Amino acid sequence: MIKQPTKYQDFHDPQARPRYTGIATFFRTAPAQDLSDADIGVVGVPFDGGVTNRTGARHGPRSVRDQSTLLRRINSATQVAPFTLARVRDLGDCWIEHPYELETALFEIESFFRTVTEAGVMPLSVGGDHAISLPILRAVADAHGPVGMIHIDAHCDTGDDYLGSRFHHGAPFRRAAEEKLIDPARVIQIGIRGTTNDPDMWGFSQRSGMRVISMDEFADLGWRAVAEEARRVAGSGPVYLTYDIDSLDPSQAPGTGTPEAGGLGVHEALRLLRSLRGLNFVGGDLVEVAPPFDIGTLTAFNGASILFEILCLLAEAFAARKGA
Ligand code: MN
Ligand code: MN
């Protein structure tokens, strides 16, 4: 007789069976269709129709799922055990039926995430390019009002129209501010750098009141002071965390469409994230992992490791609200 688990839940304890076995789900969590069974839903958004340069992030969710199976149950730095704090489930991929129609696709993503947030499930998404954060924020803001946001990225993504589109991956947070999904006074953008063709490229961020921390300022201040500044800016209200993998130095995250030299080290990024414990997180995402440019799954693995830190933050926030 062939031995196989009767229920996928048999895999829910990553240590119960070898971590390299079974179908890859995010962190080897049980897949769920039933939203009443989930507190935090990890969702793949395999869409990169908003990319302005090198495509490939549509392959991100599958690669991050695979690499996330390497991770274990407990964060040894903080002792946080996210799977005991909340029911974490892999909700599968956001199904996009019109991937070649940018605005239609974004509405489809929005509709999917409304289903998630309206069921009271906190979304943790894996893109996909950064354009996907706008429709996710539409759903999140509907549930929580304009949110604060901690945005770690080489780019502010507050550009405007590009080649006739207002919804490419360089503009989601200008749109989000215009649509009052985020409160610019409670937004901090960390790791900004690189070349630009427009001297006012990131002017919107500053004029709207966002706190922009360039990579140079980050290097001068260090992760500890930057984390303190992020806590001050985000305050006690609901806050969303969006992590663009291109914030990392290209040597540690080559698999991304728009690399910029001289970025965060993975360890700095992990320490920065761990220092955000206790904020009132209501969702998060990891975007721009583009496996076609990756080298030996380095980017997807570092991305999965960052995703685990974000999961820990969300799980603690969930447990704090539940206990309150
Ligand atoms: Mn971005
Ligand atoms: Mn970026």
Per-residue pLDDT tens over the stretch 207-243: 999 999 999 999 999 999 999 999 999 999 999 999 9
Question: Distance, CA 278 to ligand 1 centroid (Å)?
Answer: 25
8 A C-beta contact, residue 173 and residue 202: no
Least distant ligand from the CA of 169: 1
pLDDT digits (tens, 9 = 90+) for 131-173: 999 999 999 999 999 999 999 999 999 999 999 999 999 999 9
Q: With bands split at pLDDT 50, 70 and 90, how would you rate the model's confidence at 18?
A: confident
pLDDT of residue 14: 63
Task: With a cut of 90, say whether residue 26 has pLDDT above it.
Answer: yes
Ligand nearest to the CA of residue 127, numbered in listed order: 1
Q: At 226, which helix (H) or strand (E)?
A: helix 223-234
User: Over the chain, what is the mean pLDDT?
Assistant: 95
Flag whether pLDDT at 285 surpasses 60. Answer: yes
Percentage of the residues of the chain whose pLDDT score is greater than 90: 88
Q: How close is the Cα of 248 to the center of ligand 2, in Å?
A: 10
Q: What is the average per-residue pLDDT within 124-129? A: 98
Contact criterion met (CB below 8 Å) for 40 and 122: yes
Give all domains of the chain, ordered by start, each with its CATH number.
33-323 (3.40.800.10)
CA of 154 to the centre of ligand 1 (A): 7
Distance 245 CA to ligand 1 centre (A): 8
Residues with Cβ within 8 Å of residue 18, at least 6 apart in sequence: none
User: Which region among 30-39, 109-118, 260-269 has the lowest average model confidence (pLDDT)?
Assistant: 30-39
Q: What is the mean pLDDT of residues 77-86?
A: 96
Least confident of 95-104, 164-173, 196-205, 304-313: 196-205
- pLDDT for the residue 33: 85
Dump pLDDT digits (tens) for 291-310: 999 999 999 999 999 999 99
What's the 173 CA to ligand 2 centre distance in angstroms?
12
* Cα–Cα distance for residue pair 317/85, rounded to 1 Å: 9
The pLDDT assigned to 1 comes to 56
316 C-alpha to center of ligand 1: Å?
25
Expressed in angstroms and rounded, the spacing between residue 323 Cα and the centre of ligand 2 is 36
Expressed in angstroms and rounded, the spacing between residue 262 Cα and the centre of ligand 2 is 13
Whether 106 contacts 181, CB under 8 Å: no
Q: What pLDDT does residue 188 have?
A: 98
Ligand (nearest to CA of 257): 2
Hey, what amino acid is at 93? Answer: D
Give the sheet arrangement for strand 281-287, strand by strand.
88-93, 40-45, 122-127, 281-287, 239-244, 147-152, 182-192, 211-214
Please tell me the predicted confidence (pLDDT) of residue 16: 74
How much distance in Å is there from the Cα of 52 to the middle of ligand 2?
11
